[in-house]
């Protein structure tokens, strides 16, 4: 990767090339904005391209995801919360 390359755009392009994504959700997953942005992209790919997703909950119960709280109340965070809630089932 060349200096100055935006890793986000390359990562999102790589995600678009996947047929399956394994998402490991840990205790602090919901507080990491980058993880939630990746998850939102993965769910977008599932919706538009049929990507398969395998969520793995590591030391966290899926029901705990429903109680995730965020420090900001903007549209992007709400979209990420929706993505996290959706994968938790």
Q: Please list the active-site residues.
A: 38
Helix (H) or strand (E) holding 22: strand 20-25
Residue closest to 46 by CA, chosen among 27, 66, 22, 74:
22
68: its two tokens: 């995730």
Which tokens is 48 given?
A: 């538009």
């Amino acid at each position: 990767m060349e200096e100055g390359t935006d890793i986000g755009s390359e990562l999102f392009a790589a995600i678009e090339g996947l047929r399956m994504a394994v998402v490991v959700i840990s205790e602090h997953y919901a507080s990491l904005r980058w993880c939630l942005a990746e998850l939102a992209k993965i769910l977008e790919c599932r919706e538009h391209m049929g990507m398969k997703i395998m969520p793995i909950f590591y030391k966290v119960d899926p029901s705990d995801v429903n109680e995730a709280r965020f420090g900001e109340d903007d549209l992007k965070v709400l979209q990420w919360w929706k993505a996290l809630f959706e994968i938790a089932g």
